[in-house]
Structures are given as structure tokens and as C-alpha cells.
Structure 1
Amino acid sequence: MASTLKRLSEDEVAGILSFLPAKAIIKLRTLSRYVLRRSACNHFLLTQSRHTKADSGFFTRPYYGPVVLTLLDPHAGIPNEGLRFLQHAERVVRASANGLVFCSNKSRILGSLCVCNPVAPIATLRFIPPPTGEEHHDLSCIGVAVDRMSRGYELVCFTKPPDWHSPYCFRVYASADNAWKFHKMVDGGPRDLQLEYPVICGRTVYLASTCGPYMHTAPYIVAFDIEEEGSEILSIPREATKASDCHEIRIARWGEKSLCLISCRRSSIFKLWAMSRDQGTIAWVEKYQVSMMEMGLTSPGDVHSFTVINSDTLVFVMNSSIYSYDIKKRALKELQKGYPSGYPILISYANSLRPY
């Protein structure tokens, strides 16, 4: 193989390799010094990370116990050393974007927030400085927006207020400046927000409210515009506003720049809408609906966690198993059996060599 690669120019070799997932490149590095040398520079690492547009799997973060990586793409993955590094007893995975993984310790304080790439030969943590004077403030929500043309990224952090009706504290960290850019208070509306599942589309951060029957107010979505530094509460389709203990909603990315809403009646049906904006007017377009019976699950149970990855794959935890459902192919797959009971957080992961 090395002799074949040597007949190509350096740019051609780098171009071919940059379309492979990180796992494949790491294996080739062990077989060829030529590949190792050509794929080690920052330019190649950033090119490969730009080509890694699809998420290859997701972390399941249980309430207790270590994080687990579940793969959608069998050709991707994290070396065992990198996975053990993330599963350290005092480490909690908070977010992931384009191969970067963001962690904190169990204390959940801003001063413990750090970043790593677990596919690096030696996984190391780079600590993110907390806002001045706020090292010991708790963090409740972390979202990530990456710049695919550079090593830069932005973190958005929401802190849950101590009182129910108090505004949320919202901060943004810019890696290019190694600094937190601003600190705003955001009205989250009358309901609690699902801080475990933030979605960033462009310069807007979205958070869905909870869905339980503890309030008469219908569920909704809060949108915060980073550029305008303002927030608004968005209504959702009437069918998704049913507030009950057996009805849940989630939000996820839809394509590169849009948002989708997923509704789940825990033991019967999933439904998905895509959001569109036209001169400030919000519209929801129904994209699909599927029942457990249509998937082939003849003995459904309560769905404990769910989300949509890559705009085409529904993943969910039910009956101590983790499933994926290909929306386009209408194909169900059981990814893992014997998963511990509970409501794990699902965090998508891309198999990228992105430097940090």
C-alpha cells in the first residue's frame, strides 16, 4: 500500500486520507510511516475534520456510572485508551462536536470544564478558564458550535437559576480569544428547560421546555440569538403540546442550519416536525410519523431517552436496549442489549481528528 501511495503527490495522498474516519487513519498510521508522516500536520487534521460532517455514534451518559460510546458507523470509533480516559470515575462528558469532547468533574463547576479529542495518540485534557471570579459557579448546560475552517469553537453555557421563576444565566466562551465574551440573563419562561439537550443552529441557541402536567402552560422552545443578544419563546405544533407523564418532546439539528422537533408517546408513536422561518414567522412541517408496531417492536415499553442524529436516524432507549431507526430506509436495529435502567443523556459524536 505504501508503494502505491508514494506514486501519488503529497496533496493527493492527503486528500484521499482526509475523507476517511479517524479510526481508519489511525490504523493506517500503524502500517505505514508514510501515512503517519503525511497525516500528522494541522492542515490535514483540520481538512479531515471538515470532511467529517456526519456523526458516527453517540455517547450515552447514565445518571450513575461511566459514559458508553454506541456506534452507528462500524468503521468509526475511539481507541480503548481514549474511551477509558473518558470513563474516569471523576470525569463527566457534557457535550461533543466534530470530534471534540467537553468534560467536567462531578462537582459540575465551571472551573473544572475542559476539552479533549479521545482519538489522539495520548488523550490529554485542556482546561477552559472559567469566567473571572466565577470558578465555583455550577454549570447546567453546555452547547458547542465549531468553526470548520479553523481550530476555533464557541461554548454556550446556561446556569440554572436557584429560584423557579428566575432568569437563566447565559455565557459564551470563544476559544480563539480564550475568554468568555459576555454574560446575559435569559428568560426561560414558566416551565423548566431541558438543559441536557441544547441545539445550536448558526448563531441561535435553542432549548425545549419540559412537557409534564405540572403546569397549565403548554410546552415551548426558547431561542437565544447570540448576535442580537435577545431571546424569544417559540410555540410548537399543537399535537406536541400535550402535557402528560407519558408524552415527551426533544429537539435536534435538522440539516446544517435548521431545527427539528420530535414528539414521543412513550409506548406507542414517534412524530417529527422540521422548523422553517419566513421573515420571522415560524412554521412546523410534519416530516414523518412511525409507531412501535410499524418498526417491528411487538412488545414496546417506556421510551427512556431519544433523539435524532444526522437528520435521518432516530435513536432511543427502551426495555434495557438501545435502538436506531433509519428514517429513510425504515429499518430498525438493536444496537445494545442489557443497558442499565434509567434515563441516560444521549450526546452525538463525530469520529474526527480535529485538533484543539
Structure 2
Amino acid sequence: MDRGKKPGRFLGAMNSKIYLDLKDIIREHALPFLPAKSLFRFTGVCRDWKLQISTPFFAHNQSNSFRTISGLFCQAPGDPPSFISLDPKACGVPDPSLTFLPDQVDVRASSNGLLCCEGCTGEKAFYICNPVSKQWKKLPKPNANHGPDSAIVLIFEPSLLNFVADYKLVCAFPSVDFDNGYEFEIYSSAEESWKISGEICFGNRKLLPRSGVHVKGVVYWMTKNGSSIVAFDLMKERSQLLYGSYGSSLGVMHGKLCLVSVSRQLLVVNVLSNVYSNTMVMNSNAKTWEEKLRIPLSNDAVPGGISYDQALVVFAGSDVVVVQAGRSVFSIDIKTKESAVLCSAADHDVRIIAYVNSLVYF
């Protein structure tokens, strides 16, 4: 009789050991891949999880592990920002209007959990903040007057080897000294200062302020006519013009620059294949862009009977494309080909900035 009970006690001990190991595995290897809102909810699971999630090292690890678009900051002119979550149960921010900042602000750019905001009054200072932790920093005044038509890109690339969250803010602005020219000024958090580049991009082209993206050390902006793209290499501090496509928007998918457009019930994604095609000899077969994806869209994707020809891609990345058509904003999942309406009452001139729900400290 006693012999028969021993295996039971042994198996019970093994099951307990398996449970403890699984708990540790989830804590160490699964939690960093979750968005910030879910993690705050999971601090109530147990004391160990709360302590783990609250450490700066965990925040650093999560900012490296979680890079998926979580929602959109939307802002109409003169109004405070609001937030639309792609998954309200998992992703969100405690103060979508950003009232923790010392000034009413316009959201100008976003990168991997950090937001760049510009004050609406006074000196119109730039602020970098994390809307999850409400941590913020006021940047020093730029050397140049960027004016109201500046095009801004925030660059923050988390790295496991760099515990300090270094970032850059790149501003392309119309030159006051040279007609039809754009100059570039860069703020570096590592140096805590602004620097005006010696490069000037000439040509009768106006940049779209909200069109900028960053790919592997190069910043790209669409021009207002859509026929060309201005590229600025941060390392060489040199600019270059690329062929564009009218009606398309810039995006980044799987580390590559993309042109994305929606028209005639089709979502089309083209990937940059040759940046030097405009310098090739005549009759060359070299193409600047190569089509990589073509997704048919259902008639139900856009409510209210709005034509796809009226749709504008406002974000493309993380296998998600966000499109605005009239007052409707909807997302398209590249993998599942499914679409979902995010908002049906957006203003026509609303500013839409994609956001990653990160714990990053800077």
C-alpha cells in the first residue's frame, strides 16, 4: 500500500516543478513581447510579475522586443490629440490628450514608442515623450527658424547593446537664404544639441510634412505633387531625388522602403529596388520600384459608399496599412487580407500618427 502512494507524491512534485518552470518561462521570455497596456494589467497577477515589469531593464527589453503598431494618435487642427487603439483590450495610453505636457501640443512624429510634439504657443518648443510613462523632455531651441512647413521625422531604433535610448529628430525646412531650396537640421539626444547640415536640396518641390519615414540611416519624404521623393542620408549628409508615384504614400515593411497606394479596389505595395535608376543610361531596364504585393479589397472595406479612388494611405508598416477615405479610417492586415473600420467620424484634415505601445525610458 505504501509503495503505491510513492509514485503519486513523486508525480505531484514533478507537476509542481513543471508549473514553476513554465511560470518563469512566461515571465522571462513572453512578457517582453506584449504591449504596455497588457503589461500594466499583468502587474496584478503576482508580486514577482509586478517587480519584473517595473524594472528599467524589463522596459529596455520590451522596447526591443515589441515593435508592432498599436494604434493611432489623431489630431484635427486646434484640437487636442486623441488615440485610436487597434486592439483596445491590449493597447492604450493613460492620457491620450497628452495633458501631462506643459503646453498644448501638436503631435508631429512617432518612432517605436516615443512621440515628438510641438508646442502650440510661445516659442513652440519641441517635446519628446512616452505617453505610457508620461516621461517627457523639452528640446533646446533649434538654430534655424523651420517655419510652418517643416517636415519632421523622429528616429529611435532600440538596441539591446545600448541601454540609453538615443534618438534623433530630423527637420527638413524651406531655406530662407536660397529660393526653392530645403535645408536640414538634426537634433541628437546623445549630443543634446542641434546641427544644421551643409546640404541644401534644390528644386521647385514642396515636401509633404507628414510623409517622412526612416530606413537604414536614410530619411525619405514625398513631394506634394507625388512625382518625386527627397532622400537625405544622415551619415553622408547628402540628399538625392528618387522617382515617386502620384497617389502613393511612403512606408516601411520588413526593413525596406515601400510605396503603397489604394485605388480601384486594390492595395498595391512597391518596394525600392534601385535608387540609381534615374542615372542609368537611356533604354535601361533598371526600375526604381518593384511590385511586391497586390491585394484585392472588398466593397465592405469603406463604409458610406466612398470610392477607393478617394482613399489615402496614412501609414504602412508592421504588416498593417492604415487608410483614410473621407471621414472613415480603416486598417488592412497584410497577412490575413482582412480590413477593419477604426473610426467613421474623422475630420478631413486630421493628422494621423502611428504609435507603438512601448515602455521605453529615455
Q: Same fold (TM over 0.5)?
A: yes
Aligned-partner Cα distance in 1 for 2:295–2:178: 36
Query: How many residue pairs get matched?
Result: 331
2:81 aligned partner, one-letter code: V
Q: CA deviation at 1:23?
A: 0.7
Cα separation, 2, equivalents of 1:62 and 1:182: 30
CA distance in structure 2 between the aligned counterparts of 1:316 and 1:9, rounded to whole angstroms: 40
**In 2, distance between residues paired with 1:305 and 1:27?**
35
Using the TM superposition, give the Cα deviation of residue 49 of structure 1 relative to its aligned residue in structure 2, in angstroms: 0.3
Q: Is the 8 A contact 2:74 2:352 kept in 1?
A: yes
Give the corresponding residue for 1:271: 268
Q: How does 1:248-287 map to 2 (within 5 A)?
A: 248-256=247-255, 258-265=256-263, 270-277=267-274, 283-287=288-292
| SS of equivalent residue, structure 2 residue 40 | helix
Separation in structure 2 between the aligned mates of residue 56 and residue 30 of structure 1, nearest angstrom: 22
Name the aligned partner's letter for residue 320 of structure 1. R
Q: Is the Cα–Cα contact under 8 Å of residues 321 and 336 in structure 1 kept in the other structure?
A: yes
- Shift in Å, 1:48: 0.3
From the superposition, tell whether residues 47 and 11 of structure 1 become closer, same or farther in structure 2 (CA, over 3 Å): farther
4+ aligned runs moved over 6 Å, structure 1:
4-12, 86-89, 278-281
Q: Provide the rounded CA distance (Å) in 1 between the counterparts of 2:177 and 2:198.
A: 17
Deviation at 1:228, TM superposition (A): 1.3
Partner of 1:232: 240
Check whether the contact 1:188–1:222 (CA below 8 A) recurs between aligned residues: no
The question of 1:347 aligning with 2:353 is answered: yes
Q: Calculate the TM-score normalised by the size of structure 2.
A: 0.79
More off after superposition, 78-87 vs 199-208:
78-87
Contact 2:110 2:353 in 1 (8 A): yes
Quick check: 2:151–2:209 contact (8 Å CA) kept in 1?
A: yes
How far does the alpha carbon of each residue in 1:265-284 deviate from its partner, in whole angstroms, 9 at most, with x for none? 5x765432111238887631
The equivalent residue for 1:138 is 147
Aligned residue among 328, 334, 354 for 1:327: 334
2-side partners of 1:130 and 1:152: how far apart?
19
1:147 aligns with 2:157: yes
Letter in 2 for 1:273: N
* Contact kept in structure 2, 1:46 and 1:353, CA below 8 Å: yes
* Aligned-pair Cα RMSD in Å: 3.3
Over 3 Å counting, the alpha-carbon distance change for 1:286 and 1:7 in structure 2 is: closer
Alignment partner of 1:187: what SS?
strand
Pair 1:117 & 2:130 matched: yes
Q: How many Å apart are 1:311 and its aligned residue?
A: 4.8
Structure 2 letter corresponding to 1:125: W
**CA 137–272 in structure 1, closer or farther in 2 if over 3 Å, else same:** closer
Residue in 2 aligned with 1:40? 54
Unpaired runs of 5+ in structure 2? 1-17, 278-285
Other-structure match for 2:11: none
Distance of aligned partners of 1:198 and 1:286 in 2 relative to their CA distance in 1, 3 Å threshold: same
Matches within 5 A, 1:181-200: 181-187=195-201, 189-200=203-214
The letter for the 2-side match of 1:126 is K
1:160 is matched with which residue? 174
Decide whether aligned partners of structure 1 residues 311 and 10 sit closer, same or farther in structure 2, where only a CA change above 3 A counts.
closer
Please, what TM-score do these two structures have when normalized by structure 1? 0.80
Moved more, 42-51 or 82-91: 82-91
Q: How does 1:13-92 map onto structure 2 within 5 Å?
A: 13-81=27-95, 83-85=97-99, 90-92=104-106
Deviates more, 1:183-192 or 1:48-57: 183-192
Greater Rg over alpha carbons, structure: 2
Deviation at 1:343, TM superposition (A): 2.4
Q: Give the C-alpha shift of residue 293 in structure 1.
A: 5.2
Range that drifts further, 223-232 or 317-326: 317-326
Change (3 A) 1:292 1:329: closer
Specify which of 196, 208, 221 is matched with residue 222 of structure 2.
208
Helix, strand or coil for the counterpart of 2:273? strand
User: C-alpha separation between the residues in 2 aligned to 1:171 and 1:349?
Assistant: 24
Name the CA shift for 1:18/1:166 in 2 (closer, same or farther; >3 Å): same
Alignment match, 1:316: 323
Q: CA deviation at 1:204?
A: 0.5
Secondary structure at the counterpart of residue 43 of structure 2: helix
The offset of 1:263, in angstroms, is: 3.2
